[in-house]
A and B are shown apart, each in its own frame.
Chain A
């Protein structure tokens, strides 16, 4: 409004009025020049000493939990702000329950906007709640602050590169919801080698053989049978499960960015559910996926462990997974089966099962690993694996059942 031209004209008019003693013209020019000066003052200092803070109730949350975001804006100066617009970029997948939201220019991003007037030295805190209904690593920010002079003639804006991320874990379901009986894995998990035995898991009794230690003798069975009986233990040396998770939902185009969102979420939820169950059942559980984290091109893995924090570690890794694979699953499975300790049970969770994956599964089994396959694809598997039980989980939108 008050461009150089108009200001020059007003200056000339002011001088002219002062010289000729024209009261009305002098007052008129003076009032407008005063408004221009105030406008300039506000424009210059409107965003000075304006502070912005963002606080989350948690940076990691379970699926379905509510995230609270508290945004604090402080105007720490004498000059009041007639308006201040705060635009915080948020993920489109995680919309707030309330508040002004509109589409951002960035893909898959929205803008959470608030617009308010601020008194001198005033702090305004706004509380937003975000229902955690979307797994993933959600990034908030950057923030754009926009204000202007009191009269609305000019605006000024500033972008704060203040980004923070929140991870929503995948949804945990019950094994029965996935259609997998709880005993399913214990049958499959038995290793085919009898080199090692697990003394905590007795399988039965047999006739005593020379060389059996006294501790092995099953005294109740001996009393019943009238001859020495020895205990027989299960062959599992260590109850160790490695979850091999395939992030590819499109067999032919593993390298592309095209994926089936429902299938992907079901796959990840299935892996999380199995991990939860297995840790609860006392297994050592590890995770190895051909997926990636945000800004990182390494495949994702969690060392097998059984401690109380292991579920959090696995859920965090699964929560942070991006929907893209960094390499073909068969390569990943092949390398994984080579480095796993002997007897580890591989639980392959995949939505793509073609001949190459089937070959990798057979190779893993030949290396002494028990293999169990959970198939989450939308269509029937592209390859058959005779001798292996393939448990199918679905339909793909099963993971969102019960969500309103």
Chain B
């Protein structure tokens, strides 16, 4: 079954996706009502409404609720929405005058914020009641895409003056894309690993898979930012600054809270050790560090990092990098070519097959593609990676690729006829017993292809087959017999 952590990550991504498009709408609606007052509903209030809506609806749906319960949830939603609208407007304007509420902009703001809060509550209810199935998550992503695309299109139609600062919309749009691109594969994996099959084990999101996914999604978003010609350096800087600024603040806090006290402790221990060895009162050889509060106030006042802190950070960084490399190398060495027991109880061995042969094949493949494109060869068929060969030797090479994929690669010392005999003997063509028509047809096609190739490759030019048609059709027969694509 799917683990609770897995479900939690899925739920977090769903919440992020919903909050992203709702916040974009909130920002634009708030801007339209009052460009200086900020979003109609602040992000934290949106988040609270989503979480509370999901929790209430989830709790109600889990218990055998009475018929009036959904009605009560709806009433609660309306009340919460009105409350959230009033609260948001109060926070935005610094106070509300209820006497003039109906005639002022604040009244409109309350109304818009309440409506948006109601939509948020409804989406929260959906999150709480619908399990994170692939269908549900895909639907949610599609809905979010349409909602944000519609909003952005509307903003574009209304003109530059109708939109808040670009960064306000870029962040939620990219957050929605990221949450969707991460959430859908998690749901797909959960579906494939058989969450509905009681007798199966779950596919844990393995390191390579997770790394690839995060790398590709992150890379895609970064490339999008860089690639977009319309994006100026300031805008990119703003986006990166928003992301990196938060990260830098967290790292800074960790350094101040952990690294500095740790460095004091180390210094004290060194001095203590020296005093014991020399049997005399401790004479600190290091320049004593200034008190922590002075360091902090200095750094805040000057805006520069104290040199001591910089040194400690550099040491920590280098030590961290070295440590990670050592751990990775040790791990790689320990796990090299060792069988491990997987969660389904089966022994598994993973190893790399990358080598000179792979590099050579890769180069040959790239060159082949280039040659074909230069020769103006027709584009590859969309439904198949099979290339229409042009000569008997190419057909045979295609056949070798096919058999290698099926686990019967040709040995270097094998002649084509020996190879064909081995394939027949090893029952590659064995389908429904040795007497089956499939097997007979397979052997006939194999013999036809091999003999045509032998004549073309080793026979005198006069005996060489005129065209590759029979060989190609034999290959197609073999392909149809040995592989089926869905």
- Which residues of A approach B to under 8 Å, CB–CB? 1, 6, 9-10, 13, 16-18, 20-32, 34-35, 38, 44-45, 48-54, 72, 74, 76, 78, 80, 82-83, 85, 97-102, 113-128, 142, 146, 148, 150-153, 156-165, 293-296
Contacts and interface: CB of A to CB of B under 8 A. Distances in A.
Contact of B189 (A38, A124, A152, A293): A152
Contacts of B213: 82, 150-151
B209 A82 contact: yes
Interface stretch (B290-298, B413-421, B425-433, B460-468): B425-433
Contacts of A152: 134, 184-189
Nearest to B171: A24
Contacts of A148: 188
B264 interface: no
Contacts of B352: 119, 121-123
B345 interface: yes
A29 B149 contact: yes
Contact of A150 (B216, B346, B435, B486): B216
Contact of A45 (B181, B346, B385): B385
Contacts of B347: 126-127
Contact of B166 (A18, A24, A45, A51): A24
B349 A38 contact: no
Most chain A CB within a 10 A radius of its CB, from B138, B209, B405, B434: B405
B386 to A, nearest CB: 10
Contact of B174 (A10, A18, A27): A27
A24 B385 contact: no
B365 to A, nearest CB: 9
B223 A34 contact: yes
B407 interface: yes
Interface stretch (B86-94, B193-201, B443-451): B193-201
Contact of B173 (A24, A121, A158): A24
B192 A85 contact: yes
Contacts of A146: 192
Interface stretch (B7-15, B150-158, B267-275, B469-477): B150-158
Given A23-B170, A31-B174, A1 B483 contact: no
A294 to B, nearest CB: 5
Contact of A114 (B169, B189, B220, B344): B344
B358 A30 contact: no
A1 B216 contact: no
Contacts of B184: 1, 151-153
Given A13-B153, A126-B348, A158 B192 contact: no
B209 A27 contact: no
B142 interface: yes
A102 B344 CA distance: 13
Given A13-B152, A25-B153, A162 B230 contact: no
B437 to A, nearest CB: 10
Contact of A102 (B197, B345, B407): B197
A1 to B, nearest CB: 6
Contacts of A162: 406-407, 428, 482
Nearest to A76: B353
A198 B486 CA distance: 68
B59 interface: no
A102 B199 contact: yes
A151 B166 contact: no
A27 B170 contact: yes
A98 B155 contact: no
Given A52-B406, A99-B345, A121 B353 contact: yes
6 contacts: A23-B235, A29-B149, A31-B173, A72-B407, A152-B184, A295-B432
Contacts of B189: 83, 152
A101 B199 contact: yes
Contacts of A50: 405
B185 A25 contact: no
A76 B342 CA distance: 22
A23 B231 contact: yes
A124 B348 CA distance: 7
Interface string B106-146: 00000000000000000000000000001000100110010
B197 A121 contact: no
Contacts of A127: 339, 346-349
Contacts of A142: 484
Nearest to B197: A102
B227 A30 contact: yes
B215 to A, nearest CB: 10
B185 A35 contact: no
A161 B200 contact: no
Contacts of B431: 161, 163
A114 B142 CA distance: 31
A115 B203 CA distance: 7
B54 interface: no
B230 A38 contact: no
A164 B235 CA distance: 61
The 6 closest A-B pairs by CB, nearest first: A295-B433, A152-B188, A98-B345, A53-B407, A117-B209, A24-B169
Contacts of B145: 6, 32
Contact of B200 (A53, A54, A102, A296): A102
Nearest to A29: B149
A124 B227 CA distance: 37
B187 A158 contact: no
From B138, B148, B407, B484, name the one whose CB has the most chain A CB atoms within 10 angstroms. Answer: B407
Nearest to B361: A76
A160 B483 contact: yes
Contacts of B299: none
A152 B182 CA distance: 9
A22 B407 contact: no
B333 interface: no
Contact of A34 (B149, B220, B404, B434): B220
A122 B353 contact: yes
Contact of A22 (B152, B345, B349): B152
B105 interface: no
A404 B188 CA distance: 39
Contacts of A97: 345
A24 B350 contact: no
B350 A123 contact: yes
Nearest to B482: A161
Contact of A25 (B156, B176, B351): B156
Interface centre among A16, A30, A74 (most CB of B within 10 A): A30
Given A44-B385, A83-B209, A159-B486, A35 B177 contact: yes
A22 B200 CA distance: 49
Contact of A74 (B156, B216, B346, B353): B353
B161 interface: no
A153 B187 CA distance: 10
Given A22-B156, A100-B344, A124 B430 contact: no
B152 A25 contact: yes
Nearest to B430: A163
B485 A157 contact: yes
A128 B345 CA distance: 9
Contacts of A52: 405-407
A122 B350 contact: yes
Given A83-B209, A294-B432, 8 more contacts: A17-B152, A17-B230, A26-B231, A27-B225, A27-B228, A31-B224, A122-B350, A295-B436
Given A31-B221, A98-B345, A159-B486, A296 B174 contact: no
B289 interface: no
A386 B195 CA distance: 65
A144 B430 CA distance: 17
B208 A27 contact: no
A51 B404 CA distance: 7
A26 B170 CA distance: 9
A142 B485 CA distance: 12
Contacts of A10: 149
A158 B189 CA distance: 19
